[in-house]
């Protein structure tokens, strides 16, 4: 009897507690991605690595919206005096540890990034002579020379909690700094972002939780927790989304899976329209594409409409859209007056007639596509069909990324045509175009066209030196047009990352053009996710 009484009283208590608990359900935003390796923001340069950095950390400036390259963030403002950039910091920013952010943290973060020499450090390499904390709210960068893209590059300088991180440093090769907290940050965070890192298991999953002390506040509609899974197979992702166990897919799903999920009534499509362009680089130093007329013939022979259809996700949505040059429409410096590229066989034949290479033997070209990106093979086959029809003799070869990056650093081993998707790491067009088209830049994987054009060089240098926003915009608009004229590449299409999401949430930066940011990845801020239930 006593036992029954106990059970009854406990049942009654449990019933009371259940009813007394507020009707608050924790919201979890679940998505998948390709694995980032580490959670250290000074190392991650891939998509999800950048997304983690943007959510866990803050930078002096952030990508802007509606054509603005950068906007104030931690820095309320800045002054540029020659090579000196002086930033004033907000006084109310707290790290996840509770420490208040100061200029010392900015100095520490910059020094750490450069000392590790990984991730986004190349954006600043040899550009900064010194960085000093003038006072707790003021930090000064002195550059080694005129370098206007510096401001855009700061988007990729996450500010770390120096006191907290140094308390977690291990022995290492950086003298007093030990390992600069490298081992710790691999799986933890030391940021001030809207979300905190709860756990990070490379290859498996990352869990984040809302940071209530975020200086901009986190809307109540934003998810309380975020769970990112890595390395899931498309079939598994499809089942998870279809059964309501995952909210958003990655952008890397095969088109047929994307199409199947997009066709469901409980899903919608989202697009990250950054600065990604499909470049079909032409080797301008090797016959027959060292002749501008031959390059222009190929430019007009390429079937852009079919290339866009190949990226079709649904009848209405494609991951690709027409391009008008090397600068995407949401990027700073985009020249709106340039016509969109389209196939024009008549013009192609006219240019081919002017090309100095006349015989079939002289018109042999090899096309290389990256084997890790199966979609590129379809584009390679399309090119072959288009260019063979025009009178070229084309061969197609697939190359693994690692091999390709070695091949293209030398003119002779660079293929006549190579396909690469490239997006700018910062909201500044210099971050992509200088390495790609300046003859002063050492050859890298980006410069497979090996362009030598004094006019383009002049504009690229002018863009680096000019700090006035309006004048810089004009320079890059001219450069956009100039690169169309000298055709170092076929600018096949602008490419968006397309995701499928359940109708359980909205993400305005991926759905509303007026709310998109000037840099890819920045739109996937979990504090901007609106959970609907």
Partner 1 sequence: MSPLVRTLIHRLAASLVVLAGVSMLMFVVARVIPGDPARIALGPNATEAQVEALRRERHLDQPIPVQYWEYVREVARGNLGNSLYSNRPVRQDIAQYLPATLELIFAAAAMIVLIGIPVGVLSARYRRRLGDHLGRVGSIVGVSTPAFVWGVILQLVFAYFWRLFPIEGRLAASLPPPPPITGFFVIDSVLAGDGKTLIDSLHHLALPALALAMAGIGQTARLTRASMVETYRKPFIEMAHAYGFREARISNRYAFRPALVPVLTILGLDIAALLGNAFLVESVFGWPGLSRYGVEVILHKDLDAIVGTVLIIAAAFLVANIAVDLLVAVVNPRIRFAGGRA
Q: State the residues that interact with partner 1 by CB under 8 A.
A: 28, 30, 35, 37-38, 40, 43, 45, 117-123, 125-126, 182-183, 186, 201-205, 227, 229, 231-233, 235-236, 239-240, 242-243, 245, 400-403, 405-406, 425, 435, 442, 444-446
Please, what is the minimum distance in Å from the beta carbon of residue 28 to partner 1?
7
203 vs 412, which CB is nearer to partner 1? Answer: 203
Please, what is the minimum distance in Å from the beta carbon of residue 220 to partner 1?
22
245 vs 395, which CB is nearer to partner 1? Answer: 245
Contact at 8 Å (CB) between 490 and 299?
Answer: yes
3-class DSSP string for 413-461: CCCCEEEEEECCCCCCCHHHHHHHHCCCCCCCCCCCCCCCCHHHHHHHH
Q: Distance (Å, rounded) from C-alpha 228 to C-alpha 206?
A: 5
Please, what is the minimum distance in Å from the beta carbon of residue 464 to partner 1?
17
186 vs 467, which CB is nearer to partner 1? Answer: 186
Please, what is the minimum distance in Å from the beta carbon of residue 370 to partner 1?
12
> What are 223's strand-pairing partners?
none
3-class DSSP string for 153-168: HHHHCCCCCHHHHHHC
Please, what is the minimum distance in Å from the beta carbon of residue 529 to partner 1?
17
| Tokens found for residue 349 | 């034949």
Please, what is the minimum distance in Å from the beta carbon of residue 200 to partner 1?
10
Q: Distance (Å, rounded) from C-alpha 519 to C-alpha 63?
A: 6
Please, what is the minimum distance in Å from the beta carbon of residue 232 to partner 1?
5
CA neighbours within 13 Å on the CB side: how many for 10?
6
Please, what is the minimum distance in Å from the beta carbon of residue 515 to partner 1?
28
CB-based burial of residue 337 (10 Å sphere; 0-12 exposed, 13-18 middle, 19+ buried)?
exposed
β-pair type (277-282, 417-422)? antiparallel
227 vs 329, which CB is nearer to partner 1? Answer: 227
171 vs 361, which CB is nearer to partner 1? Answer: 171
Helix locations, 71-127, DSSP H: 103-116
54 vs 351, which CB is nearer to partner 1? Answer: 54
β-pair type (128-135, 393-399)? unpaired
For 276-322, the DSSP string reads -EEEEEE-TTSTTTTSHHHHHHHHHHS-HHHHHHHTBSSSS-BSEE-
| Tokens found for residue 310 | 């190949």
CA neighbours within 13 Å on the CB side: how many for 128?
24
What is the layout of strands, in order, in the sheet containing 364-370? 320-321, 489-495, 277-282, 417-422, 364-370, 393-399
Q: How far is CA 387 from CA 163, 302, 310, 356, 418, in A?
A: 60, 7, 18, 17, 14
Q: Distance (Å, rounded) from C-alpha 113 to C-alpha 296?
A: 42
27 vs 318, which CB is nearer to partner 1? Answer: 27
DSSP state of 379: H
Please, what is the minimum distance in Å from the beta carbon of residue 234 to partner 1?
10
User: Closest Cα to residue 489, out of 430, 431, 432, 419?
Assistant: 419
Contact at 8 Å (CB) between 28 and 244?
Answer: no
Please, what is the minimum distance in Å from the beta carbon of residue 178 to partner 1?
15
- Sign of the CA dihedral with 460 first, then 470, 73, and 223 last: negative
Please, what is the minimum distance in Å from the beta carbon of residue 235 to partner 1?
6
Please, what is the minimum distance in Å from the beta carbon of residue 156 to partner 1?
10
DSSP state of 12: H
């Amino acid at each position: 009897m006593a036992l029954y009484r106990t059970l009854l009283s406990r049942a009654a208590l449990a019933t009371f507690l259940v009813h007394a608990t507020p009707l608050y359900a924790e919201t979890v935003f679940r998505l998948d991605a390709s694995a980032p390796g580490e959670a250290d923001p000074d190392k991650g340069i891939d998509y999800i690595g950048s997304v983690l950095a943007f959510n866990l950390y803050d930078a002096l400036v952030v990508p802007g919206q509606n054509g603005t390259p950068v906007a104030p963030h931690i820095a309320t403002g800045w002054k540029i005096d020659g090579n000196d950039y002086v930033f004033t910091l907000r006084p109310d920013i707290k790290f996840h540890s509770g420490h208040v952010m100061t200029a010392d943290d900015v100095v520490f973060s910059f020094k750490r990034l450069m000392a590790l020499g990984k991730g986004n450090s190349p954006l600043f390499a040899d550009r900064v002579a010194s960085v000093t904390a003038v006072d707790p709210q003021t930090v000064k960068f002195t550059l080694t020379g005129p370098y206007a893209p510096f401001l855009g590059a700061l988007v990729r300088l996450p500010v770390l909690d120096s006191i907290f991180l140094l308390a977690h440093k291990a022995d290492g090769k950086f003298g007093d700094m030990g390992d600069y907290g490298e081992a710790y940050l691999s799986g933890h965070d030391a940021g001030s972002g809207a979300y905190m890192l709860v756990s990070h298991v490379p290859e498996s999953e990352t869990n984040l939780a809302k940071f209530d002390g975020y200086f901009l506040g986190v809307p109540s509609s934003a998810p309380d927790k975020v769970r990112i899974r890595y390395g899931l197979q498309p079939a598994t992702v499809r089942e998870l989304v279809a059964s309501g166990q995952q909210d958003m897919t990655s952008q890397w799903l095969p088109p047929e899976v994307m199409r199947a999920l997009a066709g469901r009534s409980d899903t919608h499509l989202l697009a990250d329209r950054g600065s990604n362009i499909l470049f079909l680089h032409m080797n301008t130093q090797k016959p027959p594409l060292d002749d501008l007329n031959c390059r222009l013939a190929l430019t007009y022979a390429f079937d852009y409409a079919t290339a866009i259809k190949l990226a079709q996700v649904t009848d209405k949505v494609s991951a690709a859209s027409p391009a008008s040059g090397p600068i995407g429409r949401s990027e700073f410096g985009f020249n709106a007056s340039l016509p969109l590229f389209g196939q024009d066989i008549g013009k192609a034949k006219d240019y081919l007639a002017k090309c100095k290479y006349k015989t079939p033997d002289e018109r042999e070209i090899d096309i290389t596509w990256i084997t890790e990106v199966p979609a590129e093979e379809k584009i390679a086959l399309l090119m072959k069909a288009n260019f063979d029809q025009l009178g070229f003799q084309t061969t197609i070869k697939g190359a693994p990324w690692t091999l390709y990056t070695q091949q293209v650093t030398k003119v002779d081993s660079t293929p006549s045509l190579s396909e690469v998707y490239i997006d700018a790491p910062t909201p500044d067009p210099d971050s992509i175009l200088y390495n790609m088209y300046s003859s002063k830049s050492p050859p890298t994987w980006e410069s497979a066209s090996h362009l030598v054009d004094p006019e383009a060089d002049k504009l690229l240098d002018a863009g680096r030196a000019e700090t006035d926003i309006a004048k810089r915009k004009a320079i890059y608009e001219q450069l956009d047009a100039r690169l169309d004229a000298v055709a170092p590449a076929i600018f096949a299409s602008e490419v968006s990352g397309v995701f499928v999401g359940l109708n359980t949430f909205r993400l305005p930066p991926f759905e509303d053009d007026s709310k998109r940011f000037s840099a890819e990845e920045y739109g996937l801020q979990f504090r901007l996710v609106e959970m609907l239930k």
